[in-house]
Chain A
Amino acid sequence: MSFSKTVEITETSADTRRITVTVNGTPRVVEVEPRLLLVHLLREGLALRGTHIGCDTTNCGACTVLHDGNPIKSCTMLAVQADGHEITTVEGLGTPSELDPVQEGFHREHGLQCGFCTPGMMMAARALLDREPDPSEEDVRWALSGNLCRCTGYQNIVKAVLWAADKQRGAQPAEEDAR
């Protein structure tokens, strides 16, 4: 028996739907209220807390995940809408032993400070590089224009994404070590 099969039925359990969402490659079957936001399914239902909530008007992009490979704001999608679709979160980047080039780029180019916007920012960057492997600085700034950051001033974020693009293409990224 698995502990996770025990579900407490409380007086507040409302009308729910059973949905199947493939998250980071694994199909997850869950029962959700229609009003549950996708970001809450990820964070609370599936304990994937790397996706963050930053605002309440669909502006900040901290909640960005990939939906069938497209960057979306998971706070502005109902969990039920993800039924039958594939969601990739920051936890799905890289492997336990190796960082995704985007993650490594953010680290090497100091593209994060408090880290709160970072997962969303990286997912938007990942989507860009999946579509455009050799972006210009302008392409990067445009692709990230739905993700707010208060700490970095964006300049290092742009460098991080360009570093990742170089690495993916096998081009030599700028000097390995810290300057």
Chain B
Amino acid sequence: MTALDEVKIGGLGASRLRVEDQRFVRGRGTYLDDIKLPGMLYMEIVRSPLAHARITRIDTSKAWQIPGVRLVLTGEMMAQRNLAWMPTLSYDTQAVLATDKVRFQGQEVVVVVADDPYIAKDGCDAVEIDYEPLPAIVNPEQSAAPGAPIIRDDKPGQTDNTCYRWEVGDREATERAFAEADVVSSLKLHYPRSHPSPIECCGAVADFDAGTGKLTVYMTTQAPHIVRAAVALIAELPEHQIRIVSPDIGGGFGNKVPVYPGYVHAILASILTGRPVKWIEDKTGNLISTGFGRDMYLDAQMALRRDGKILAVRMHADTDQGAFFADAQPSKFKVGLLHSAFACYDIGIGYITAQGHYTNKAPGGVAYRCSFRVTEAMFFQERMMQAAATDLGMDQAEFRRINLRRDDAFPARTPFGFLVDSGQYHKCLQVGLDAIGYDQFRREQAAAREKGRLLGIGISTMTEPLGAGNSREYDILGIKMFDSAELRVHLTGKAILRTGARTQGQGHETTWAQIVAHELGIPADDVVVEEGDTDTAPYGMGTYASRSTPVAGAAVSMAARKVRAKARKIAAHLLEVSEEDVEWELGRFYVRGAPERGASIQECAMAAYSNMPDGMEPGLEATAYYDPPNLTWPFACYIVTVEVDPETGVWDVLRVVAVDDCGVRINPMIVEGQIMGGLTEAYAMASMQFQTYDADGNMIGANYMDYLLPTAWETPGFELHEVVTPCPHHPIGAKGVGECAAVGGPAAFVNAVIDAIGDAGVRNIDMPLLPDRVWTALQTRQSVSGAPPVGRS
């Protein structure tokens, strides 16, 4: 008998076409807005037009009079039920509906519930609110200035606008290293506020059934179990009477992790009206009030030896947290995993400090394909590398070669406490350089410069920690960041698998089945995958920060191995040999020495229901909860070439080369899809996508006319390459990958443009590199900042 072909049955390495597609291409997905329950009402929110103001009057009487309006909620009504404020995932509090004050433009002030959303909107227009404006704070400098108004005057003991302080590393050793340096390079920049902006907005359908006492909430959430816990705490409903269902999600990117006030409004509205209530926000609501990413000011220095060796790094980060500290991130790390910066380089000494600032802007900062602020870490890292190489007069690739960890250097501990366990960084860099034709390009660049044309090349190399995370260090609200899988094999050998993850386009329904196929030889087509319903899914911390393959995927593997272990006992029973004499090949147990005598996994499944060994429990299923021993460390090299038009500052991308190592690839097609998506985000952030504010706190970027996402026309093509270094601790050697290109990509684009400008006076141009910023840099031969407020000139 020949063994099964793993690729043919849809195991690891198969570019299996996606199961999800069948419904999506027919328009038969079930997204939140597709859910319609009998008697359902619709909810709209009245939002503050001002960034910082006292509320002096709210009159909802005219709204109540509109036929079809069923409920109008104010902060006062919420306060009577102790629901005007709620805890955030960062141990702060956040207003659910404003009572006396609004603290950011777009903050929720009044909620209207009606028979249809047109009438709800009519109701919103009929609400009268008077405000007394207060000065608006739109950046950390204003926030920290002496005499600045205290934004969080609701917090007892809050005497300024500081949100948190954090530090890591060895300050004294770092100071000593800097004192000994031949060269010290410095760089300051602002990573602008950017918004994940999945095409689908956030929403919920809340349905409290007074007859059973059960609350069901359909919700656009990447982490339904976290939400169930949060609702149990906030709404003080018993956890077993709360069911969170995450239907198909139209993109998450971290935007659909936080618990938003709108969800709480919908839940209360359903309880009060006795009917299901749907809230689906519009794009402006999504952009102006929900979880954004970045808005970090970085100021760092690098201590260098003349031969190019980096001796130490020192960084300070100021983060703009908006009006409430609402980041979804592991609780011990106030600025996420910023301290993963420089992990791919052999640097022994470092010190990082960070301070969070309250401002009159929407709350957030950790979202948007960022791996918990690793986007900021790696962007800054590679921008710093560019600056340092320039200061040393050294080639960009050569400088990286000197400092990248060697293959035999693992495992290695970074100065900030991470354990990097594997990598082939030099190979990855070389594959990239060969693919782009690095030396050839440098020659072309020089020749073009003679003719006044500005060509540039940018390199970004990095490794990042994905798969939060082990229980010693990682938790959210005290809940450890494990994940889970439950696998049940039916009597005909088909199976159902449920996990605590929640796909939003990553293809879990396709890829988790591939892991089962790999472990058990059950064809992937024979395994149905479910996620997202807290009544049926085992407890998981959801899908974000590229954690699902590292954690949930590992759990799938472990559950399948438990099933295989039980099946082995059944096989021994069927084959009438002892267990030690049973061997396994994909899909089949056989007798050692007599391979023609075997039992397929399907035969074992049937036997589990019809012919069990004495004393064995019937059935063939297992659950696994996986606490990862470490994060996984994918790494990458992104190289971009550009041409800049010196007369307009417009730049065009010539080529994008991406070399990614995410260990064993479950489904190469899906991995490539993730990388291309991430590269597009990188291009978007580098070229056009950002949110900013004017001096009054008005947001620019609160709709798709101002918040620009690239279309198929602007977006460049991508050339993808791979290196494979299996993860040493993951059951199938896989690593996370979903965010790598969004994390490492932006610096490649920016480095390329800075390289094209080629003037040491222009050390930095803040993203996005809008044509006017590039042109201004060329004209003034100086760096260009993009920090708000805008419209200052």
Contacts and interface: CB of A to CB of B under 8 A. Distances in A.
A32 B369 CA distance: 42
A153 B718 contact: yes
A85 B21 CA distance: 30
B17 A178 contact: yes
Contacts of A149: 199, 712
Contacts of A49: 27, 33-34
A107 B31 CA distance: 19
Contact of A50 (B27, B251, B505): B27
Interface residues of A, number: 62
Given A110-B670, A151-B505, A116 B31 contact: yes
Contacts of B24: 112, 115, 118
A119 interface: yes
B107 interface: no
Interface string B420-446: 000000000000000000000000000
B676 A122 contact: no
B669 A178 contact: yes
B595 to A, nearest CB: 30
A110 B18 contact: yes
B613 to A, nearest CB: 39
B198 A114 contact: yes
Interface in A123-151: 140-142, 144-151
Contacts of A12: 67-68, 115-116, 119
Contacts of B756: none
A11 B68 contact: yes
Nearest to B198: A150
B668 interface: yes
Nearest to A141: B712
B213 interface: no
B711 A148 contact: yes
Interface residues of B, number: 66
Given A110-B18, A112-B21, A115-B24, A35 B676 contact: no
Interface in B174-220: 196-201
B16 interface: yes
A144 B486 CA distance: 41
B668 A179 contact: yes
Interface of A is mostly: loop
B715 A146 contact: no
A82 B196 CA distance: 34
Interface centre among B15, B17, B115, B199 (most CB of A within 10 A): B199
A7 to B, nearest CB: 14
A144 B249 contact: no
Given A106-B21, A151-B677, A179-B15, A113 B506 contact: yes
In this complex, which of A48, A152, A156, A158 has the most chain B Cβ atoms within 10 angstroms of its Cβ?
A152
B273 to A, nearest CB: 16
Contact of A90 (B14, B26, B201, B679): B26
Given A113-B677, A150-B253, A151-B677, A60 B17 contact: no
B705 interface: yes
Contacts of B196: 150
A119 B27 CA distance: 6
B503 to A, nearest CB: 9
B21 A57 contact: no
Contacts of B33: 43, 49, 52-53
A116 B713 contact: no
A55 B283 contact: yes
Given A10-B68, A122-B25, A153-B718, A56 B712 contact: no
Given A54-B199, A55-B703, A110-B669, A118 B25 contact: yes
B74 interface: no
Contact of B680 (A36, A145, A154): A154
A88 B81 CA distance: 48
A99 interface: yes
B507 interface: yes
A130 B196 CA distance: 34
B717 interface: yes
A178 B703 contact: no
B673 A110 contact: yes
Contacts of A152: 673, 676-677, 680
B713 A142 contact: yes
B704 interface: yes
A74 interface: no
Contacts of B68: 10-12
Contacts of A53: 33
B596 to A, nearest CB: 31
Nearest to A143: B712
B25 A99 contact: yes
B676 A153 contact: yes
B758 interface: no
Interface in B233-252: 248-252
B711 to A, nearest CB: 4
B504 interface: yes
B27 A51 contact: yes
A104 B24 CA distance: 11
13 contacts: A33-B118, A36-B118, A53-B33, A54-B283, A56-B283, A108-B17, A110-B670, A113-B507, A114-B199, A114-B200, A153-B679, A178-B16, A178-B17
Closest 5 pairs between A and B when the two form their complex, measured CB to CB: A50-B27, A116-B250, A115-B24, A114-B505, A113-B505
Given A55-B283, A107-B18, 15 more contacts: A49-B33, A51-B27, A54-B199, A112-B24, A113-B505, A114-B199, A114-B250, A114-B505, A122-B25, A141-B711, A151-B677, A152-B676, A153-B680, A155-B676, A178-B14
